[in-house]
Amino acid sequence: MLRKLLKHEFRATGRIMLPMYLILLVTAVGSNLAGRGMLDGRYHILNILGVLIITAFGIAICGALLMSFVLMIQRFYKNLLQDEGYLMFTLPASVHQHIWSKLIVSSVWFIVTVLAIIAASLVVAYQGGFLRELLDFLRYFLEGLRKLEVSEAFNGTIYLAEFAVLMFLSLVAFSLQFYAALAAGHSQANHKLLWSVVWFFGIQFALQFAGSLLIIGSNELDVFNRLFSHWDPSPTVAIHVGLLMAIGCVIIYGAIFYAITTFFLKKHLNLE
């Protein structure tokens, strides 16, 4: 069922995000052309037009990022917490499947948006010898990779995998902050969006307060010094441990919001 939910989510959100990427590409091509001739032209009308096109590209970047964020909230809110929720919760799918369909799709669009912005920026920067320089850089980079030892190449691959996992989980945790607040706020009978805002800041304050107490307590008990005083790892091991600890912290952080979201969707959701 999760596969069907994902298919439905990508179809519904793709109608909005794909045109945004098309606008981003068109304005990127326009900005490239504007940078080549319009800004340095003799005619003021062309100079103004070039500035407007470049401004449109900047607005398109902001619009793509903002739309990814708004769509992440809007799909959860509209699909599960408003009238559509009556239909969605009658499907043979668990609350966990509904949540993960939203989380996966939102994270994918965040990642694709960043890649689209990078690609559009390359289009803007493209000049006569740009492609040749880019290919030369890639060739030198690949040659450098071939010169690495097996252990270095292996650790580098693991670094990238750990970093990719960290980024994905960070996006999931970021989305869950808003899902938890919306789910909790919609357990109330009235003023649900207002209560969602109150829940958002209340949960953030509680977690920040608990984290501060934990740090202060750890310092008072000298926990970290006791754990790591006799540990002298190599730089490679230290990086791995650091990334894994960051992944663990993000998992704990996201799990708190995930538990809040599932609790209120299962036990206290008020769709009236």
What pLDDT digit, counting tens, does each position of 185-212 carry? 888 777 888 888 898 899 888 888 887 8
Q: What's residue 53's pLDDT?
A: 83
Q: What's residue 213's pLDDT?
A: 80
Q: What's residue 152's pLDDT?
A: 64
Confidence of residue 144 (pLDDT cuts 50, 70, 90): low
Segment 113-123 mean pLDDT: 89
Confidence of residue 130 (pLDDT cuts 50, 70, 90): low
Asked whether the predicted pLDDT for residue 156 surpasses 70, the reply is yes
Asked whether the predicted pLDDT for residue 266 surpasses 70, the reply is yes
Percent of the chain with pLDDT over 70: 78
Asked whether the predicted pLDDT for residue 147 surpasses 80, the reply is no
Of 31-45, 115-129, 180-194, give the lowest mean pLDDT range: 31-45
For residues 65 and 217, the model is more confident at: 65
Average pLDDT score over the chain: 81
Three-state SS string over the chain comes to CHHHHHHHHHHHHHHHHHHHHHHHHHHHHHHHHHHHHHCCCCCHHHHHHHHHHHHHHHHHHHHHHHHHHHHHHHHHHHHHHCCHHHHHCCCCCCHHHHHHHHHHHHHHHHHHHHHHHHHHHHHHHCCCCHHHHHHHHHHHHHHHHHCCCHHHHHHHHHHHHHHHHHHHHHHHHHHHHHHHHHHHHCCCCCCHHHHHHHHHHHHHHHHHHHHHHHHHHHHHHCHHHHHHCCCCCCHHHHHHHHHHHHHHHHHHHHHHHHHHHHHHHHHCCCCC
pLDDT digits (tens, 9 = 90+) for 209-261: 887 887 777 666 555 565 555 665 667 777 888 888 899 999 998 999 999 99
Tokens of residue 9, six digits: 């989510």
Closest CA to 64 of 13, 7, 30, 10: 13
Q: What's residue 82's pLDDT?
A: 78
Asked whether the predicted pLDDT for residue 41 surpasses 70, the reply is no
Q: What is the length of the chain?
A: 272
